[in-house]
Structure 1
């Protein structure tokens, strides 16, 4: 499996509403396998297709490396739709492979319901909570062009501005491949 370069904050593909996936074919399966390889190399627990430069409405999640979530299976969500988000909100620190070395407290719904197509082209509906729900919502944000800076207060965004500029200029110390500055 190939390790794909990850797109970094400032790349236009991260700001688009991704296009639905019409069908699952061998090429898409290979892409998904490469996404899992890439995500694991970068020590991530979620990765959206546009984070590897693809305008596709799909993401992967694997929270099993996190203590307490070992029983969770990796999941591929194609053309996901968020059907429900609870009014109960929690704040947790989040990071993002497209924002290396940047972390921020983000408020999200504690529980969600999501519908998606799996790699067998079956439509699935699941309920998720806690970290699993948070990662799904984070990755879903990518599919609609949103990132961590869009979820923080204006004051915090100003504080993060220097770090965001460094990231855009590829002034980051990471051990996974990233796209070149365009």
Structure 2
């Protein structure tokens, strides 16, 4: 298996389109996504679209296909600008991702473009190992990461499994109204 060292979104070879983001309670957000053929041209286009949509959304560090209304297991992540980032792999897109190791569980605050008015405290692994496939090439990757990038990956993998961060909070006491800055 490879890592992400040589992969960049530009390698997809297609221009991404900015897609509208769906919000809860849209049904696509609560259904497990199907696995994909990462070399299918429609999946390559979707990967580029996810990156383009993520890049036009301030503060967005990840976006999954169900969030743009497509019920498949594809997501983009880029935590480059986030202050809580330790390990950093840059911008990337993964297909059919699975967490194969998880440890160092910690609570942390999460938000989501599909739940725009709320944030919540979610306990997630602080170090994970993920196996997935890269769009376009179909290359299998083995990704080891920690801290904020690990949290972002778990959040997006949850989207692909039909779960929102609200499904992972400890209870109503761990859900907060999102602060709006003008």
Give TM-score, length-normalised by structure 2.
0.81
Moved more, 32-41 or 10-19: 32-41
Q: C-alpha root-mean-square deviation of aligned residues, in Å? A: 2.3
User: How many equivalent residue pairs?
Assistant: 162
* Distance across 1 between alignment mates of 2:106 and 2:78: 20
CA deviation string 1:102-148 (max 9, x = no partner): 11121111111100001210111111100010000000111111112
SS of structure 2 residue aligned to 1:60: strand
Partner of 1:129: 146
Partner of 1:11: 26
Partner of 2:105: 89
CA deviation string 1:20-56 (max 9, x = no partner): 0024233322221111111121121000101001111
Unaligned segments of structure 1, at least 5 residues = 164-172, 174-182
* Distance across 1 between alignment mates of 2:151 and 2:109: 10
Identify, as 1 or 2, the structure richer in helix: 1
Q: Does 2:41 align with 1:26? A: yes
Partner of 1:112: 128
SS of structure 1 residue aligned to 2:143: strand
SS of structure 2 residue aligned to 1:135: helix
Partner of 1:178: none
Asked whether the equivalents of residues 130 and 143 of structure 2 are also in contact (C-alpha less than 8 Å), the reply is yes
- Correspondences of 1:1-182 after superposition (within 5 Å): 1-43=16-58, 44-67=60-83, 69=85, 72-86=89-103, 88-119=104-135, 120-156=137-173
* Distance across 2 between alignment mates of 1:81 and 1:23: 15
SS of structure 1 residue aligned to 2:129: strand
Unaligned segments of structure 2, at least 5 residues = 1-15
1:68–1:152: structure 2 CA closer, same or farther, 3 Å change rule? closer
* Distance across 1 between alignment mates of 2:159 and 2:91: 18
1:7–1:27: structure 2 CA closer, same or farther, 3 Å change rule? same
Give TM-score, length-normalised by structure 1.
0.81
Partner of 1:177: none
